[in-house]
Chain A
Amino acid sequence: MMNYIWLALIIIGIITAVGTDIYESSVNKYRNNVEFNALIELKEKPSAETQVKGILKVSGEYYKNFYALKNFNQDTIKNEITLRLKSETAGTVILSISETTPDFWKLMAKGKGTNTDKLIANVVKLEEVNENTYKASLIFERVSLVKIKQVLNAVIEYADIAVKIAIGLIGIMALWLGVMKIGELAGLINLLAKVVKPLTKRLFPDIPPEHPAVGAIIMNISANMLGLGNAATPLGLKAMEELQKLNPKKDTASDSMVTFLVINTSGMTLIPATAIAVRAALGSGDPAAIISTTIVGGFAATVAGVTAAKILQRLKVFKKEIEENGENKKELEQ
């Protein structure tokens, strides 16, 4: 199952990116090799072989039509530039990308992949209108294959994020594993398991009652309910470790593991802390208004998930995967 979903995410992503790039180049979205006309106000008179700073001015209307943008309401666009002349009328304009730069140029600069803080244009024509004001025809540097470049960047960026997340877990993981070890040796985890036995017996029939796994599971669920994500993950992983001890087939998920996982992927919580915090930050009149609706939503998700897991585990396709183990083991022994 995971194989198909994993592959589907990647293939759909790549096909969409390639398709988008082909479409964008067919309509020349970034206007490669098309002249862009603008006014340039320079601080001093330009001469060959020098750099002069100035401002590029163009009407919002022209910009909108030139790039065929749907939503663009700015009246005039002003952007800082540097003009580098090679001769009287030929040279380059370097557009510096800043906060005030229109989004489409930001997108173009980003789409180049390198030197994303500026856009470079060739000056095709330069006519003096007033003192230090020029009419310029520009051709911007070629921008293409934007989506594919973004996908490539995402690959590198997400691989990096994955490692950072895992490394970030080490400290909190060590803390909770240490605390849990004390609880285990003191018999506290077993005591906890005994207390919740009536409930967990039904949810996880293949865990022996009073097994440490039950204690870890209950602590994980409690942490989730209280919105303590930092503690919930280490406790959940501790529970997985205990469940793995009971699992006869080490590379395949057991029924209890799937049930436990589904409880964790559904958001059963009594306090949706993140959502409330964001609402408060955005000036909501009643940030906590969503508590009751979230509890209902999370509860429904949990019940549906656990029910689905319990029904699906009986299907032949999924049952087969854990039963094959016995035969393999025999083969190995022979």
Chain B
Amino acid sequence: MSFKDIMNIISVIAIPFVIFTFLIYGFAKKVKVYESFVEGAKEGFNVAVRIIPYLVAMLVAIGIFRASGAMDVLVAILSPITNLIGFPAEALPMALMRPLSGSGSLGIMTEIMKTYGPDSFLGILVSTMYGSTETTFYVLAVYFGSVNIRKTRHAVIAGVISDLTGLLTAFFICKLVFG
């Protein structure tokens, strides 16, 4: 069994296992399981609704940026710089889109792999980049929005530093292993 198979099995059974354990353990500890579940679950709606203004603000700004074609302009400006370290210009839209939009970066990844093949260097690179970091601005809006945090302090800078490191490491490790 490969690492992937083992991980697949674990990720399939993890959620049922956790829920089962919680229920049985709770029951054993004489917790009124049904009543407590409902008590906790009723907050679900409020949390989701609290996120809405934050998510609308964030996604609309990202939507304007994406639809305007500003990404192409940014790629043209940045590609001479990224060329210096040998970073392929074709993968630059991926690097720029990843922190902003999950669906956008998924689209770019799919498009690049369709054009150049999933096993080409570019294909490997963009799929590694996709997995190496998350949609920072979306996570930021949802997580802080859920508790009404408006002043995010150093979260954006730290998040962008993390994205940059993840994307660059993805490039160097792919070059080392597959380049």
Q: Which residues of A approach B to under 8 Å, CB–CB?
A: 1-2, 5-6, 9-10, 12-14, 16-17, 20, 147, 150-151, 153-155, 157-159, 161-163, 165-167, 169-171, 173-175, 177-188, 219, 222-223, 226-228, 231, 233-234, 236-237, 240-241, 243-244, 250-253, 257-258, 260-262, 264-267, 269-276, 278-279, 282-294, 296-298, 300-306, 308-309, 312-313, 315, 318, 321-322
Contacts and interface: CB of A to CB of B under 8 A. Distances in A.
Contacts of B109: 275, 278
Contacts of A264: 134, 139, 143
Contact of B37 (A9, A182, A275): A182
A301 B11 contact: no
A176 B162 CA distance: 28
A292 B177 contact: yes
A159 B153 contact: no
Interface in B22-60: 22-23, 25-26, 28-29, 31, 33, 36-45, 47-49, 51-52, 55-60
Contacts, number: 379
Given A6-B58, A182-B33, A223-B14, 10 more contacts: A2-B152, A167-B48, A177-B43, A182-B37, A188-B26, A266-B134, A275-B128, A291-B3, A293-B177, A301-B162
B70 interface: yes
Contact of B131 (A298, A303, A318): A298
* Residue with the highest number of chain B CB atoms closer than 10 Å, among A227, A250, A297: A297
B7 A271 contact: yes
23 contacts: A6-B57, A10-B61, A14-B64, A147-B67, A147-B69, A155-B63, A159-B56, A162-B55, A162-B58, A173-B44, A175-B44, A186-B26, A237-B143, A252-B153, A271-B11, A278-B127, A284-B123, A289-B119, A293-B178, A298-B131, A301-B166, A306-B162, A309-B154
B161 interface: yes
A285 B113 CA distance: 13
A282 B106 contact: no
A309 B158 contact: yes
B64 A301 contact: no
A306 B158 CA distance: 7
Q: Chain A interface mostly helix, strand, loop or mixed?
A: helix
- Counting from the closest, the 10 A-B pairs by CB-CB distance are A181-B40, A305-B162, A301-B166, A174-B44, A297-B132, A272-B131, A158-B63, A178-B41, A304-B165, A154-B67
B100 to A, nearest CB: 8
Nearest to B141: A162
A258 B147 CA distance: 13
A226 B128 CA distance: 16
Interface residues of B, number: 105
Contact of A293 (B33, B150, B174): B174
Contact of A253 (B36, B38, B55, B149): B149
Contacts of B29: 185-187
A288 B2 contact: yes
B142 A233 contact: yes
A177 B139 CA distance: 19
A152 to B, nearest CB: 9
B81 interface: no
A12 B68 contact: yes
A186 B25 contact: yes
B128 A290 contact: yes
A16 B109 CA distance: 24
Given A273-B11, A289-B124, A301 B163 contact: yes
Contact of A251 (B15, B31, B151, B165): B151
Contact of B149 (A228, A233, A252): A252
Interface-centre pick from A162, A264, A302, A318 (highest chain B CB count, 10 A) = A162
A148 B117 CA distance: 34
B162 A284 contact: no
Contacts of A278: 106, 109-110, 113, 118, 127
Nearest to B170: A297
B176 to A, nearest CB: 9
A154 B64 contact: yes
A189 B15 CA distance: 16
B144 interface: yes
A250 B158 contact: no
Nearest to A322: B153
Contacts of A233: 142
Contacts of A288: 2, 4
A9 B61 contact: yes
